[in-house]
């Protein structure tokens, strides 16, 4: 996200504190750190712990909830929502894949062919994010409408009958189908893939690519042997920044999907806000989801390192 | 791509300049260009549709399909009951959350870049996790804590604001840290050599240099706060912010006025970018 501030700072970001900046043994850093860290502890870390306790409670809103160590909530959380777990995983994996496939060429083009248009093109990637993402997601209702040009083209090219056979679309519609959900998710998360990709591609010295060419590498080999390995931090960061929010996303499934595209997030919201005794099971589901995501994040962090991703 | 990998031997023997202009390379570059343009269309199309549909007079309750041209939504943007009120609420929460998150985040960024201390990696992890955790998990766990402590009835303005500050702080830290780390430390040493007190150095040298980073961080925090739906819905109680109003509209009726607000957001952002670019050019020209 550093590019939002100023694209030029990315290069200097990792420059270490100069050696003549002597370590100071005083309280200043802690005075600076404490207010923010206390805020994050109280409103981020402790809630996660409370929700673990909430996940083994029983009760309802009228009589209150009691900690009864009711582990059966987890049995419910895992068994009853199998379809939703499957949908969340499938849609987020597909989204991450398509975001990488679409984001890489764009980031590559801006970084190496952008020239003096670099910052304008990066601004074009970011500018849509300043319009409410809900309004932009709902705009796909218009784009993918049954009478719209997109559906017309897909129908006349017989693509719609293929996707229908595969179960991606239903009944001659594109809107309110799994295909629309994934399309909306790719659209929403693409900037999150492009930004870290661009940051790492932009750092690559173009002379390295010239050297590859001079040594009779084809453009593809140059990309595979030089560009791709050097851009791996961006690939890892970009896929991570896309996959994690995509797992929890239920906006697209709700707005662009149908009752058969249910995802985990919808169930959590429903259990918390609309069912009188649903919140322990809702907490159990979010704990399951959190642990699952955390395992993935940790294995990724081991690969890339926290400082690199920040 | 395999067809592109082996240029003919004759071409290899030719001078590098000729090899660069070979038709194959030219076509490949155009493929990349065409693909990039297509993806940009994909990314920008919804904004164009929002602008277009804001001039629509919908035939039914939902402004999803083009009917006929009208400027009535633009002349009466607040015609829908509750919409402008929800926008006001979102802006209020955004302003408070931005100020608090920017102050807390900037302080952390200074500590991280300017000071050495223990527990660094632990603090880094604590800052990274809110950006990595799925929003629905943060919303649900925070709601669980509020239910257990202050009760569901107490949810409202302050619980939303607290939640927004929580998820904005990390983004502020990242943005300000980037600016601080890229700064030339010799300027501050020069100020101190000229007998400036630490406070004077901070106010006259450090702060003006970091200000663009802090401004960018505040803008980012504001955008994140105003746009948030998932965490907000878990902490809002009976209040309705603008994203929650939009969410409700999908079930009730989707007026063209929402597209007007969406267009205003786009045009406003473009105006800000254009102004800052022009100001930057003017400043550069003066130097």
Residue in chain A lying closest to B260 (CA): A135
Helix (H, G, I), strand (E, B) or coil at A171: coil
CB-nearest partner of A13 from B141, B181, B262:
B181
Query: A167 to chain B nearest CA, in Å?
Result: 23
Whole-structure pTM over 0.90, yes or no? no
CB proximity list for A236: less than 8 A, separation 6 or greater: A300, A303, A304, A309
Q: Please indicate if any CB of chain B lies within 8 Å of the CB of A47.
A: yes
Inspect the interface and report whether the beta carbons of A130 and B266 lie closer than 8 Å. yes
Local structure of residue B68 (DSSP, 8 states): E
Question: What pLDDT shows up at residue A136?
Answer: 96
- Say what the ipTM of the complex is: 0.82
Inspect the interface and report whether the beta carbons of B213 and A6 lie closer than 8 Å. yes
pLDDT in tens, chain A (310 residues): 334 444 444 444 444 445 555 554 578 888 889 999 999 999 999 998 888 888 887 777 666 677 777 788 888 888 888 899 999 989 999 999 999 999 999 999 999 988 889 988 998 998 898 899 999 999 999 999 988 888 888 888 888 888 888 888 887 788 899 999 999 999 999 999 999 999 889 888 888 888 888 888 888 888 888 888 888 888 888 888 898 889 989 999 999 999 888 999 999 998 888 877 787 888 889 888 888 887 877 777 676 654 444 4
Concatenate the DSSP letters of all residues of B18-44 into one string. Answer: HHHT-HHHHHHHHHHHHHHHHHHHHHH
Among A126, A43, A157, A86, residue whose Cα is nearest residue B150: A43
- Tell me how far apart the alpha carbons of residues B142 and B99 are, in angstroms, rounded to a whole number: 21
CB proximity list for B235: less than 8 A, separation 6 or greater: B139, B142, B143, B146, B155, B159, B160, B162, B163
Count of A-B CB contacts under 8 Å: 312
Query: A261 to chain B nearest CA, in Å?
Result: 17
Inspect the interface and report whether the beta carbons of B163 and A113 lie closer than 8 Å. no
Residue in chain A lying closest to B177 (CA): A13
User: Which residues pair with residue A58 across a beta bridge?
Assistant: A66
Q: Please indicate if any CB of chain B lies within 8 Å of the CB of A117.
A: no
CB-nearest partner of B1 from A133, A216, A220:
A220
Residue in chain B lying closest to A129 (CA): B223
CB proximity list for A307: less than 8 A, separation 6 or greater: A14, B124
Inspect the interface and report whether the beta carbons of A145 and B141 lie closer than 8 Å. no
- Tell me how far apart the alpha carbons of residues A102 and B226 are, in angstroms, rounded to a whole number: 28
Question: What pLDDT shows up at residue A63?
Answer: 66
Residues of B in contact with A276 (CB under 8 A): none
Residue in chain B lying closest to A289 (CA): B137
Helix (H, G, I), strand (E, B) or coil at A65: strand
Note whether B60 and B252 are within 8 A (CB): no
Task: Render pLDDT for B213-262 as a digit per residue (tens, 0 to 9).
Answer: 999 999 999 999 999 999 999 999 899 999 999 999 999 899 999 999 99
Q: At what angle do helices B23-53 and A178-202 cross, to 10 degrees?
A: 120
State CA A231 to chain mean position distance: 19
The runs of H, that is alpha helices, within chain B are 2-5, 9-13, 16-20, 23-53, 72-75, 83-114, 120-132, 135-149, 157-181, 186-193, 198-201, 207-227, 230-235, 242-251, 256-286
């Amino acid at each position: 996200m550093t590019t939002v501030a100023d694209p030029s700072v990315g290069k200097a970001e990792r420059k270490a504190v100069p050696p003549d900046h002597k370590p100071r043994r005083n309280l200043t850093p802690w005075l600076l750190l404490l207010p923010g860290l206390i805020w994050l502890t109280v409103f981020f870390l402790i809630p996660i712990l409370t929700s673990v306790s909430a996940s083994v409670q029983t009760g309802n809103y009228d009589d209150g909830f009691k900690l009864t160590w009711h582990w059966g909530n987890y049995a419910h959380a895992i068994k009853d929502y199998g379809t939703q777990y499957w949908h969340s995983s499938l849609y987020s994996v597909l989204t991450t894949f398509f975001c990488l496939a679409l984001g890489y060429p764009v980031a590559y083009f801006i970084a190496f062919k952008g020239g003096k248009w670099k910052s304008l093109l990066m601004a074009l990637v970011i500018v849509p994010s300043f319009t409410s993402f809900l309004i932009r997601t709902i705009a796909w209702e218009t784009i993918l409408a049954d009478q719209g040009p997109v559906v017309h083209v897909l129908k006349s090219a017989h693509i719609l009958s293929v996707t229908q056979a595969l179960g991606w679309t239903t009944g001659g519609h594109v809107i309110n189908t799994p295909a629309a959900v994934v399309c909306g998710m790719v659209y929403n998360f693409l900037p999150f893939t492009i930004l870290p990709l661009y940051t790492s591609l932009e750092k690559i010295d173009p002379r390295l690519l010239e050297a590859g060419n001079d040594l009779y590498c084809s453009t593809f080999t140059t990309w595979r042997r030089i560009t791709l390995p050097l851009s791996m931090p961006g690939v890892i960061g970009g896929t991570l920044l896309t996959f994690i929010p995509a797992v929890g996303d239920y906006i697209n499934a709700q707005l662009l999907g149908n009752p058969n595209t249910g995802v985990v997030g919808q169930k959590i919201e429903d259990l918390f806000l609309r069912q009188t005794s649903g919140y322990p099971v809702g907490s159990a589901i979010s704990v399951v989801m959190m642990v699952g995501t955390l395992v993935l994040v940790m294995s990724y962090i081991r690969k890339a390192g926290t400082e690199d991703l920040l | 791509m395999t067809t592109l990998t082996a240029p003919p031997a004759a071409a290899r023997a030719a001078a590098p300049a000729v090899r660069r202009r070979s038709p194959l390379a030219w076509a490949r570059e155009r493929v990349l260009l065409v693909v990039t343009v297509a993806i940009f269309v994909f990314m920008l199309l919804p904004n164009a549709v929002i602008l277009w549909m804001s001039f629509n007079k919908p035939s039914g309750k939902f402004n999803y399909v083009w009917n006929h041209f009208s400027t009535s939504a633009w002349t009466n943007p607040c015609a829908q009951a509750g919409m402008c009120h929800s926008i006001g609420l979102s802006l209020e929460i955004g302003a408070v959350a931005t100020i608090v998150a920017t102050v807390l985040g900037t302080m952390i960024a200074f500590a991280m870049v300017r000071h050495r201390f223990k527990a660094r990696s632990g603090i880094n992890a604590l800052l990274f996790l809110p950006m990595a955790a799925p929003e629905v998990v943060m919303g649900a766990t925070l709601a669980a804590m509020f239910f257990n402590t202050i009760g569901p009835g107490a949810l409202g303005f302050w619980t939303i604001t607290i939640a927004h500050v929580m998820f904005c702080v990390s983004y502020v830290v990242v943005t300000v840290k980037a600016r601080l780390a890229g700064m030339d430390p010799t300027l501050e040493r020069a100020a101190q050599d000229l007998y400036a007190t630490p406070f004077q150095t901070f106010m006259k040298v450090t702060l003006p240099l970091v200000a663009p980073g802090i401004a960018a961080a505040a803008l980012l925090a504001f955008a994140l706060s105003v746009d948030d739906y998932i965490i907000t819905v878990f902490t809002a109680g009976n209040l309705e912010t603008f994203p929650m109003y939009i969410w409700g509209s999908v079930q009730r009726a989707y007026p063209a006025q929402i597209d007007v607000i969406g267009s205003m957001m786009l045009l406003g952002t473009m105006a800000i970018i254009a102004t800052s670019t022009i100001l930057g050019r003017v400043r550069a020209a003066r130097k």
